[in-house]
Structure 1
Amino acid sequence: EHDEDMIRSADHIIELGPGAGAHGGELIAQGSLEDVMAEENSPTGRWLRGTGRYAAIRNRARNPLGMERRIIVKGAREHNLRNVDVEIPLGMLVAVTGPSGSGKSTLVDKILKRSLARTLQGAKAIPGEHDQVEGVEHIGRLVVVDQAPLGRSPRSNPATYTGAFDHIRALFAQLPLSRQRGYSAGRFSFNIKGGRCEKCQGGGALRIDMHFLNDAFVSCDSCGGRRYNRETLEVTYKGRSIADVLNLTAEEAGEFFNKVPRLSPLLSALCEVGLGYLRLGQSANTLSGGEAQRIKLAAELAKTSHDGVLYLLDEPTTGLHHDDVKVLLRVLQRLRDAGHSVLVIEHNMEVIAESDWVIDLGPGGGRHGGEVVAVGSPGDLISEKDSPTGKWLAKAERDVEKSQSFS
C-alpha cells in the first residue's frame, strides 16, 4: 500500500527498500506507525513525519502571463458536466481535481483529448458533447502519457521504446569484426533472422504448453537465454556482447556508454525519472504501469522539441511511493520549464500543492458534480470555502505541521 490513510490506519507496518530493483530487497522498518515514524532510515517514516511535504504550496500562479496563452473548452455537457466553460492556461503544470465522479476524466479525456486528437492528429474518436475548443493554434503536439503497456509485444523493452537500442545496434555494426563480416545493424536485432537464436526466435525463452494451465516459459537451451546466436555474440564493444549490454541497468549503461553522444541523453533520462535500476532488455510485460509511464516520460525528456507540446496524464501517481512521486514531479516541472504544458488529473495532494494552477470540479460526484467549483493557484483554493480540494489542502498543511512537531 502507498495510500497514507491506509498506512496510518494499519496495526503493523512492514517497509521494504531502501530503493527499487537492485537497490531494494531489504527490511527497512517494521512495527507500529510510531515505530516506523521514529526510524531515521525509513523513507516512509520521513514521509509520514512530513519532512519536505507541501513546502511549495503556491499562493499565486507561477507565470500569470500564461493566461494569455490558453485553451478554452466551451459548453462542456457530456455526462454530468453542466454546460461548463473551462480555461486551461498553457506553459504551466495544471491539475484537474475533484471527488471521484465529478467529471474530471469526462472533461480531459472524452472532450479535450479527443477534440485535440481529431484536430492535430486526424483521430476518428468522437469527442463528448461541447460547443468548441479554442486556442488549439497554441499547441504544436499532443502527447498522452498513460500507464498502458509499452507495446503489444513482450519483446518491447526500455531500450527499444526510448530508441536507445537503435543507436546501440548501429554502434555494434560499426565495430571492426562486424565490418569484416558484413554485419549491419539488423544483425543485432533479436526480432529478425540473421543474428538471433532461431530456436527461441530471439525471445530467450521457450514456451511450454501446459494445456489447462497457463503456459510456462523456460530459458532457451540453445542460447542460454541470451537471444542471439554464437557468431553475433562474438562481436563485442569494450568487452561486452550485445546480450551483455541488454543485461545492463540504465545506470550501468549510462557509465558504459558515457562517450557515446547519441546514447547519453536517452540513458540519462531513464535515470532522471527514477528508473536507473531497470535493465535495458527487461521485457515490457514485467513492468508496472508506473514504470511504463515513466519510460514514456523519459523518451519525451530526451527529445529536443520546440513545438509547444501539451502533455496529458490521468492520475500519474497511482501506485507510486512518495519518493517516486517526488521524482515524477521533478520530471513534470522540467517539461514545463522547457516551455511545454502539462495537464494532470490528480488526487495526490503533493502534486496538487506543487501545481501552478488548479481546476477543481465538484462539489460531489455523479449528479452532485459536473461544476467548476474553484480555479486558481493551490494557495487560492485553500481560501475557497466550497472547494473540496481546498479543504484537503488546508488539512494537509495542518497535518504536516503536527507531524513536524512530532519529529
Structure 2
Amino acid sequence: MKPLLTLAARSAWNRRFTLMLTVASIALATLLLMGIERLRTDLRANFTAAVSGTDLIVGARTGSTQLLLYSVFRIGAATNNMGWASVQALAGHRAVAWVVPLSLGDSHRGFPVLGTSAEYFERFRYGDRQALRLAEGRAFAAVFEAVLGADVAEQLGYSLGQRLTLAHGSGDLVAEHADKPFVVTGILARTGTPVDRTVHISLQSMEALHIDWMGGMQIPGLGMTPERLRTMELQPKAVTAALVGLKSRAAVFSVQRWVADQRSEPLMAILPGVALDELWEVVGVGEKALLAMSVMVGIVSLGGLVSVVLAGLNERRRELAVLRAVGAGPRQVMALLALEGAMVTLAGALLGLLLALGLTAALGPWLQARHGLVIGWGLPSAEQWALFGAVVATGWLASLLPALRAYRLSLADGLSPRI
C-alpha cells in the first residue's frame, strides 16, 4: 500500500499545475459549505439566546415576528404604542408575576436607546437563563443616568462618568436632545445579544426627553432644563412593549387570550419561542438557497476533478501500460487513480476547512461589532465534520469513474501508439 501511495503522490505532483485548479475549486466548495453551516448554526444560536425566561411579549397588535424584532432585536419600529393603563392592568393580573415595560424610538450614534425600569436588570434573561451582570458601575437610579451595553462602551470608548446626549429617532433623520445630557453610571458585561448594542435609560428619563417635544420636534419656547425636569412627576403615558413573566407556565394561553380580548386598545401577546421559530422559517428560505448554491458549486468542482482525471488518461495510457508491464495488475492501476482522486479531494477539503476557520476568526469581531452577531471560530461542530466527510467521500467516489475506465484498458492499448 505504501509504494502505491508514494506513486500516487508523485504522479499527482508531476501534474500539480493542472490539479491545483481542481484543488482550489474543491476548497471553494468546502469553504462555502462549512461557512454557511457555521453561519446558520451560530445565527440560530444568536437568535435563540437573545431572550429566555420571558413567558410573553405584549405590544400593540401587529405581526408576531415584527413585535419580536423590534422589542428584542431592536430591528424596525413599532406601528403603535401600548398605553400605560394597559401595562398596569397587565401587572395586576392574578397570573402575572412581573412586567418589564420597554420604550424604544431614540438612538445614540447609531445605537438604539431603550427606556425601561430598574427591574429589567433583575428579570431579563438570555442564553440558558443567564442574568445580566454589570461589569462596571451600577444601574440607573435617577433621571438622566444611562447604562451602556458592552459594544456601545467599547466602540465609542465610553467609561463611567462619561456625558452623552441622545437623539430623537434613528437612522439618518435624527434630532439631538442636546439640552438634556446623560451621565454613564454603569456598563454591562458582554452577553452576545442585542443588549450589548443598547443604551439603557429609565422610563422617567425617556419621558423627560420628550415632555417638550411634539411631532418629532421641540416645541418652541417650551424648553425645560434638566434641573426642573428632575422635580417633576414623569409618569410615562405609553410604552413600546412589555416583557411578562408568569407565576405558572400553565397560564400562558389564558393570559394570551386575556390580552387579545382587551377592549381598551388592540393588543397582542406572543410566546418568544414560537415567534423565534416563525422568524427562523423566514430566514431559513435564504439559508436553504445559499446551501443549495454551495452544493451546486461542490458538484461542479467534483465534476472538474473527474474531467481532469479522464482527460489525463489519454496522456497517461503509456504510463499505465508500463506499470502493467512491470507487474501491476488492473486492480492496482484502478487503486492508483482512486488514490490520486482521494488525495486531491482531501487536499482541497482541508484547504477549504482552513480557509473557513481563518475567515471566521478574521470576520468574527467585525460581525459582532457591526451587526451584533457572535460567530464562533473554534473547531467544527459534528454537522460541519459530517459535511467535510461528505465532500471527501463524494470526491473519492467521483474518482472511481476514471479509475474504472483505466481498469478496462488493455496492456496493448498503451504500448501500441495510435497514428
Radius of gyration: which is bigger? 2
